[in-house]
Structure 1
Amino acid sequence: MASQKLADCPSTPGVPMSETDLQDPPNPAAPSSPQPPVLDEKVLGQCRADGVTFRAAQAEAITRLLESLAKGRRQLAESFAQRPKNPPPEEAKEFVKRLQTELTAQRTWLLKKVRPQFEQATKGRLAGRKTVLALLEKLTDSARKQLERYQAERDALPLPADAGLSAQLAFRLRETARARGLLNSPAENLPTTEELEYHPLVEELSELSARLHSRVADLWPSIRFHFQVAEEELARLVVSEEEKKSAVDFGKGVEEAEQLACGVLATAEQQIAELFAPLDDYWAGLAERLEVCGQKLAGGKYSGSQPWQDLGESLKRRGKKAFRHYFDISDQEETSLLRAASHKMFSNLQEVLHKEAAPQEKLLSLTDLPSAQEVLRRSETFPPLHRRLFTLGPLKTREFLVARDEELEVLDDLFTRWEQGQACSLAVIGPEGSGKTSLVNCFASEYGAQGELLRLEIDKRLQSPEDVIELFRQGFDIKKPLATLDELIGELLTRPKGMVLVEGGHNLALRVVGGGRAVEALCYLLLATRRHFLWLVTFRKVPWERLDYQYQINRFFTHQISTLLAGQQEIRQVLLLRQRISGYPLTFSGEGNGKESNGTTGDGRERENRFFRELFTASGGNLDAAFHYWLLCLGYDAESESFHACPLGKIDFSFLRELDGDQRLTLAEVLGHGGLSAEEHQRIFHCDPLTGRLRLEYLASLGLLLVEPPRGAGGDVRYRLNPVYYTPVVKTLEVMNILY
């Protein structure tokens, strides 16, 4: 009995066990060995039941979603099937109106009812992960109790009186090691909650759930976009009563609209069902896999753990490590090791020095880059639906808004504070094309149903308080003339409380003597009314910095938001979301600039990372620039109906340093004002009109400036910086200390 109980106890290193000690006769008076730990069937049954319950709830939610999509598709198909043949204009117009009403109703039903029901039923993509984690924690806790009971019973066994010398030494060694914390029990080797998060069962479920929920998340903006495009295509069929379209054209247009609306629902049904199948198989086999896992946990067999009986091996490894550290390595051997390491390092250095340098990558010059008009003409070969996704302009709803969660939280908090009676005003700051209008549009679309909303745009330069008074008198539709700011403020405070969106804050000042009085007037207006109105004013980045430097304008805004994206991950999310919604597959090729191979090797993920790294470097986080370079790098294969993206490469902007001083200063003033007319340029630089127009036109010919036609009668042609080149222009001017 003694030998059976102590056979697993290792002997003291250096003290061999005798043959007599190993063959002690059994002692009938000794207590029996404790029962080894086993899996608790009751706990396992609870885990099985919880898994079955979650699987049933998830399957029900997915089934309801698929049934809703199928129902909407059938109803739309029935409505489209009623199209008349060779309809007269009035009948065609009436039919299109009915279809548009049906599309609007179906879109509202899917987005406002089906979507919340599904999200409430599934409780997000992490619900399954939390469930499996909870099941594993139950099994781990049960195994820990079993192992602790088993260890306590084993520890209670006394040392037999007839135990040999080696057995006594091993027993004392084990007790000493346990007292000093050198020996872990099986219960202590079981995984913690943090370690269970990396369990294979959890990681596999996370991957399967991410695929399904990402596709469902893409479904809602896809439905909104496809339905809106279908409505617009139908509206084109009856755009004019005088223009009579043939029956073939009318039927073809209705058929294309049906493919857009019904096609997106049918594709979603198929893809969601395919993604749900492996997830359902996972839950179906989870009970069996949990049983295997529970048995391993109950036996103390967890990856990375060591059973408590392996004390001898553990001490042996520790002893060998200490012995080698203190005795095996002499000074001479240590010197020889350093010499060998130095020789290897020197050899590697020689290899690097004699190695031929890699060919330097050719930089793209400005002449290699097509203009925005040329890129748009090139994209006309793309499918119309795909092209529309990347030429939408400012967004109107949150469906396509990506990487703006923090900004929207600030807006929601700001609105709550203002409703509570606090004085609030917000400045939205960013370069042109960075998403300022999209952000305020998305917020305004949700606020519009809750209160009064007024939108204004400063579309011309304001230089005096009178200009500010006239702007808001017209914006608020005040009929009587107003002479002073106090009269304007008194009139505004009689209006209902609400939110005021003002775009174009960069037009508040001109860099001339007395050119900033409009800034002071607007700030005075904000201070007097920002408890009554929630003010949201957009500013371009460089003009805001100049206004803040000259007038400390940030003091008059309680909150500020920057819209320039900070990293390539956000740019990646924005572009790939729209690409997924288009429904066309995308691959990233290894060909440079769409012309020739650059010899890049590696898998698709590495090519994708390189693509977005170069695109972010070129765009600097500006969305307009990112869309421009994205369309430039895309290619479409009509045969396979798929897209491929080639690397953008590096662009050479060194020519900006070669511009003469007046041209660089002109660029700086265009940036600092958000745009200039020739007359404003003349006032700033005190030059004749022809010289100023020549400088502006030359920069426009290089593509650095965009020309805006006059707005209204008597308006001036304006020049603004091309958003595509915002980042390199700003960096160059800052390095040359022209912008600061």
Structure 2
Amino acid sequence: MDIKLPILSTAWQKIKTLLGLEHHALLDEDNIEGKLSLKALANHYPNSSPASEAEQILLYSPLIAGVDTIIGRDTQRQKVTDAIERWQQQKGELTAVIGPFGAGISTLLNQFHQQYTHSYNVTYLSFYHGVLSTKEAIANLCYCFNITDEPNSITAAIAVINQQPQQIIIIDDLHKLMLRMMGNYQALVTFATILMETRQHHCWILGCETFVWHRLSSQYSITNFVKSIIKMDYFTQQELSEILKQKTDKIPLKINNLSPEEASNGAFDSLCKQLHQASDGHPKLASVLLHAAMVDDGNSPINLSPISSPDLSSLKQCIDEDLFSLAELYVHGGLRVFQHADIFATSIEHSSLKLEYLARQGLVKAHYSKQDFAQHYYFITPTLTRIIAMHLLNHNKLYL
């Protein structure tokens, strides 16, 4: 075969430029002592099948069992309850619960789904993909009421929805409305208009990530329409300790060379302090760091090695182009290759290589399409949301 080396060399240089390899030193995949690489943290969770009972309990078991067992969210629960009561008194307004990814917004909203379902029709909606047109906005909202014959206009949609029996509608993952593609602005306007014109008859509760909310506020003045804004954040050290206590009580864990029976509160408190410092109160990250420290050799109790902290080397080596891509992935909750290309006004090929580079560095994860590489879907794994958001904030790629 006649191989033309200069042509191959030129092609490789172009690929390296697209991937950012000209600006990055390739990272050693081995973890630095006392630290876990972001790739290792991303690979820890989620997994298709937990390898042990301890992993199942720590990373996959639900945190709460009933409506009265949410840790550290009493204030937020009461504010949502107050908003529903005002609606019951014919003083309905739009309510939003905002907080960072991983702070438990979906968990909180699901509790109200359970709590009120015996007395009202309660619908919980989480968008599968972004709404890109007026027709899609109307269709999504009509879906909440099982309306199959979709109205042809916003006015008709408002009239039909107001004729339905009263409902509480919880719309989670509002970041899916942020997609900056052709026609999406009108979809947002349609969505907001229908909610505003039906808020007296139906109770609308929205769940939204903090930085997405700030972008919606700055670009679309959403705060002019939402009466109640209920804020959440990650957990305090005491709250995180309670969360981890619920989980570790079900695991035969050996702390500081003591048996589970002998382990003092001081040893457990010290462990939780380390985990809080390393995770900033992000419960999933804290759980992953704890699980990574477990030395499970099949014996009981399970030994615990020193807690590692996240190694940010891969993030620190990102150039601005990488960080802008991560910021868009964050606020959208994930992007397909063609969506990334549309946002950055670049080619599908360039976007594909850029997103795959970020995946190779362990900063994002990918769901690959077998039919079309433009449909590959990239997202920031739940374990890394806090770490990446803070890095982006510190580099002026996300705004408070």
Out of 180, 186, 193, the residue aligned to residue 511 of structure 1 is 180
* In structure 2, distance between residues paired with 1:466 and 1:378: 39
Offset from partner CA, 1:629-687 (integer Å, 9 cap, x none): 23222344754x33444432333314312112221111011112222111111111111
In structure 2, the residue matched to 1:670 is 329
1:452 aligns with 2:112: no
Which amino acid counterpart does residue 276 of structure 2 have in structure 1?
Answer: F
Query: How well do the aligned residues superpose, as a CA RMSD in angstroms?
Result: 3.2
Out of 356, 360, 364, the residue aligned to residue 697 of structure 1 is 356
What is the 5 A alignment of 1:232-251?
none
* In structure 2, distance between residues paired with 1:634 and 1:459: 35
In structure 1, the residue matched to 2:237 is 568
What is the 5 A alignment of 1:597-676?
605-636=265-296, 638-639=298-299, 641-676=300-335
Deviation at 1:618, TM superposition (A): 3.0
Please say if residues 66 and 111 of structure 2, whose CA atoms lie closer than 8 Å, have aligned partners that are also in contact.
Answer: yes
Out of 384, 388, 398, the residue aligned to residue 729 of structure 1 is 388
Which amino acid counterpart does residue 395 of structure 2 have in structure 1?
Answer: M
Please say if residues 38 and 384 of structure 2, whose CA atoms lie closer than 8 Å, have aligned partners that are also in contact.
Answer: no
In structure 2, the residue matched to 1:417 is 86
Go from structure 1 to structure 2 and tell me whether the alpha carbon gap of 1:454 and 1:611 turns closer, same or farther (over 3 Å shift).
Answer: same
Please say if residues 633 and 648 of structure 1, whose CA atoms lie closer than 8 Å, have aligned partners that are also in contact.
Answer: yes
Please say if residues 42 and 381 of structure 2, whose CA atoms lie closer than 8 Å, have aligned partners that are also in contact.
Answer: no
1:549 aligns with 2:218: yes
Deviation at 1:715, TM superposition (A): 10
Which amino acid counterpart does residue 172 of structure 2 have in structure 1?
Answer: E
Go from structure 1 to structure 2 and tell me whether the alpha carbon gap of 1:700 and 1:395 turns closer, same or farther (over 3 Å shift).
Answer: farther
1:426 aligns with 2:85: no
Go from structure 1 to structure 2 and tell me whether the alpha carbon gap of 1:394 and 1:716 turns closer, same or farther (over 3 Å shift).
Answer: farther
What is the 5 A alignment of 1:491-510?
491-510=160-179
Go from structure 1 to structure 2 and tell me whether the alpha carbon gap of 1:714 and 1:393 turns closer, same or farther (over 3 Å shift).
Answer: farther
* In structure 2, distance between residues paired with 1:557 and 1:644: 50
Deviation at 1:690, TM superposition (A): 1.0
Please say if residues 615 and 626 of structure 1, whose CA atoms lie closer than 8 Å, have aligned partners that are also in contact.
Answer: yes
Structure 1 ranges of 4+ moved more than 6 A: none
* In structure 1, distance between residues paired with 2:149 and 2:50: 51
1:479 aligns with 2:148: yes
Offset from partner CA, 1:590-634 (integer Å, 9 cap, x none): 79xxxxxxxxxxx95554334223322332332322332232223
Gapped regions of structure 2 (runs ≥ 5) = 1-31
* In structure 2, distance between residues paired with 1:587 and 1:378: 25
In structure 1, the residue matched to 2:197 is 528
Please say if residues 459 and 504 of structure 1, whose CA atoms lie closer than 8 Å, have aligned partners that are also in contact.
Answer: no
Structure having the higher strand fraction is: 2
Please say if residues 375 and 631 of structure 1, whose CA atoms lie closer than 8 Å, have aligned partners that are also in contact.
Answer: no
Go from structure 1 to structure 2 and tell me whether the alpha carbon gap of 1:402 and 1:394 turns closer, same or farther (over 3 Å shift).
Answer: closer
Go from structure 1 to structure 2 and tell me whether the alpha carbon gap of 1:692 and 1:375 turns closer, same or farther (over 3 Å shift).
Answer: closer
1:364 aligns with 2:35: yes
Which amino acid counterpart does residue 314 of structure 2 have in structure 1?
Answer: F
* In structure 2, distance between residues paired with 1:683 and 1:462: 15
- Which entry has the higher C-alpha Rg, 1 or 2? 1
Out of 65, 72, 83, the residue aligned to residue 403 of structure 1 is 72
Go from structure 1 to structure 2 and tell me whether the alpha carbon gap of 1:460 and 1:370 turns closer, same or farther (over 3 Å shift).
Answer: closer
Deviation at 1:518, TM superposition (A): 2.2
* In structure 2, distance between residues paired with 1:714 and 1:525: 36
Please say if residues 463 and 509 of structure 1, whose CA atoms lie closer than 8 Å, have aligned partners that are also in contact.
Answer: no
Structure having the higher helix fraction is: 1
More displaced 10-residue stretch of structure 1: 692-701 or 474-483 = 474-483
Which amino acid counterpart does residue 567 of structure 1 have in structure 2?
Answer: T
Please say if residues 611 and 646 of structure 1, whose CA atoms lie closer than 8 Å, have aligned partners that are also in contact.
Answer: no
Please say if residues 504 and 538 of structure 1, whose CA atoms lie closer than 8 Å, have aligned partners that are also in contact.
Answer: yes
Deviation at 1:396, TM superposition (A): 6.5
1:577 aligns with 2:246: yes
Which amino acid counterpart does residue 166 of structure 2 have in structure 1?
Answer: K
Deviation at 1:426, TM superposition (A): 1.9
Which amino acid counterpart does residue 207 of structure 2 have in structure 1?
Answer: T
* In structure 1, distance between residues paired with 2:140 and 2:207: 16
Go from structure 1 to structure 2 and tell me whether the alpha carbon gap of 1:671 and 1:376 turns closer, same or farther (over 3 Å shift).
Answer: closer
Deviation at 1:697, TM superposition (A): 1.4
In structure 2, the residue matched to 1:466 is 135
In structure 2, the residue matched to 1:682 is 341
* In structure 2, distance between residues paired with 1:454 and 1:433: 22
Which amino acid counterpart does residue 588 of structure 1 have in structure 2?
Answer: I
Give the secondary-structure state (helix, strand or coil) at the position aligned to 1:461: coil
Give the secondary-structure state (helix, strand or coil) at the position aligned to 1:651: strand
Deviation at 1:365, TM superposition (A): 4.8
In structure 1, the residue matched to 2:112 is 443
Offset from partner CA, 1:107-166 (integer Å, 9 cap, x none): xxxxxxxxxxxxxxxxxxxxxxxxxxxxxxxxxxxxxxxxxxxxxxxxxxxxxxxxxxxx
Go from structure 1 to structure 2 and tell me whether the alpha carbon gap of 1:642 and 1:563 turns closer, same or farther (over 3 Å shift).
Answer: farther
Go from structure 1 to structure 2 and tell me whether the alpha carbon gap of 1:481 and 1:377 turns closer, same or farther (over 3 Å shift).
Answer: closer
Go from structure 1 to structure 2 and tell me whether the alpha carbon gap of 1:424 and 1:482 turns closer, same or farther (over 3 Å shift).
Answer: same
TM-score w.r.t. structure 1 length?
0.45
* In structure 2, distance between residues paired with 1:508 and 1:461: 5
Give the secondary-structure state (helix, strand or coil) at the position aligned to 1:558: strand
Count residues in correspondence: 364
Deviation at 1:487, TM superposition (A): 0.6
Give the secondary-structure state (helix, strand or coil) at the position aligned to 2:164: coil
In structure 2, the residue matched to 1:228 is none
